[in-house]
Amino acid sequence: MKSINIFVILMSIFCFNALNAQCLTDAHSNVWNDGWVSCQTSPNPNTVRGTGHWLLYDLGDPYFLDDTQIWNANEAGNTDRGMQDVVIDYSMNGNTWIELGTYQLAEAPGTNDYMGVVGPDFAGIKAQYVLVTVLTTWGDPCAGLAEIKFGVAETMRSEVNLTTILQGTYDISLGNMRTSMGSLIPLSQPYNVAPYNYAGTELLASVPANMVDWVLVEVREGTPNQSVSRGTRTIDTQAAILQNDGSIVAYDGTPLAFDLVVGASYHFCVRHRNHLDVMTATDLTTQATMTYDFTTGLTQAFGTEQLTMLSTGQYAMFSGDFTMDGIIQTTDFDLWKLEPALIDVYLSTDGNLDGVVQVTDFDSWFPNKAKLGSVEVGF
């Protein structure tokens, strides 16, 4: 992959150094203040790492990281302060951490023409924060590092054309989904609440005539798991418009588009506030235009029977997940039963999306009442 480089000036809560890390060439000096050193341990931002020496990089914005080059502590006579064994974690938000791996760094030579060593390859992983935790040094109780250069992977803007059907609102006589809610649909995206907690600012000027509802589309990197816990990680999210023909477009009516790494592959997850969420069964390699249709077969969604077949032979997302927890069960009925007769509302208990909570919504839930979503649609 082609890449550009980000040079990060070393900073830490442990100490204040003159900000003169040598970033103009690939050679490093051997003076004491041309780097970072910690002689006092502190609680790690990743709590599972405990207390110790660590170095946190905030890149300012999320980047698709690529290869790295590392210059270890290179002060003449004190190269034993250099990091030997380290564990590297990365994060999008500085709170949820994923381990990249454990690595051993060579001791620096202490000369003024030090060229550093090849560091770990992030292989296009998207992150804003990189955390280096020191496990051992080359002998000194203090820990030091001169510099890390991060490569940034080449990206392209990709149109992502997804198609899905919501079972609850599909009308066989129309051959499309109904657009019954109309003006009940909020102009602002509705996924800013738990469990989604999406902070996007998507805002409609008016509700399009062919709009069924808002959906949430997530870009996922990683390899999905069939059980236990999610294997993919959300790296980008957009609230989008589901149209009555099943197509999903951006809030302004243009094709849905994401910036993705050239040559990389991604899964896409579609969420809806009262249907069982789905994720693409296969990954899609980045192209200018990427297309995926959930409606063409049972196995189009990742997991076991995550779609239901309509009488038309098409496949749709299961209706009835009123509690938005990835399981259709009695708790969804319990929520509906609290207020089973409401009109002109925009609520998750309106299973058929007609703006009315009534027995027809119970009817949409009942056939699906023991359906478990894939572990990959969890939060």
Note the pLDDT of residue 356. Answer: 97
Summarised one tens digit per residue, pLDDT across range 9-63 is 333 333 323 223 333 355 666 666 668 899 999 999 999 999 999 999 999 999 9
pTM of the model: 0.86
pLDDT at 198 over 50: yes
Q: Give me the chain's average pLDDT, please.
A: 92
Tell me the mean pLDDT in the region 297-318.
97
Summarised one tens digit per residue, pLDDT across range 229-285 is 999 999 999 999 999 999 999 999 999 999 999 999 999 999 999 999 999 999 999
**Integer-rounded Cα radius of gyration of the chain:** 25
Q: Position 131: which residue type?
A: L
Q: What percentage of the chain's residues is helix, strand, coil (to nearest 5)?
A: 10, 40, 45
Q: What residues contact residue 369 under an 8 Å CB cut-off, 6+ apart? A: 320, 328, 329, 330, 332, 333
Tell me the mean pLDDT in the region 74-101.
95
Q: Is 196 helix (H, G, I), strand (E, B) or coil?
A: coil
Give yes or no for a contact between 230 and 267, defined as CB atoms under 8 angstroms apart: no
Tell me the mean pLDDT in the region 164-184.
96
pLDDT at 340 over 50: yes
Residue in 106, 103, 147, 110 with CA at minimum distance from that of residue 5: 147
Residue 192 CA: distances (Å) to CA of 26, 239, 254, 269: 45, 10, 22, 17
Note the pLDDT of residue 28. Answer: 64
Residue ranges of alpha helices (H) inside the chain are 330-338, 359-365
Q: Is 79 helix (H, G, I), strand (E, B) or coil?
A: helix
- DSSP letter at 184 equals G
pLDDT at 81 over 90: yes
Summarised one tens digit per residue, pLDDT across range 96-111 is 999 999 999 999 999 9
Note the pLDDT of residue 20. Answer: 31
CA torsion sign for 325, 328, 329, 333 is positive
Structural domains in the chain, sorted by start:
3-153 (2.60.120.260), 155-377 (2.60.40.4130)
Tell me the mean pLDDT in the region 189-215.
97
Tell me the mean pLDDT in the region 197-210.
97
pLDDT at 347 over 60: yes
How much of the chain, in percent, has pLDDT values that exceed 70?
A: 91
Note the pLDDT of residue 19. Answer: 28
Rounded Cα distance, 216 and 178, in Å:
19
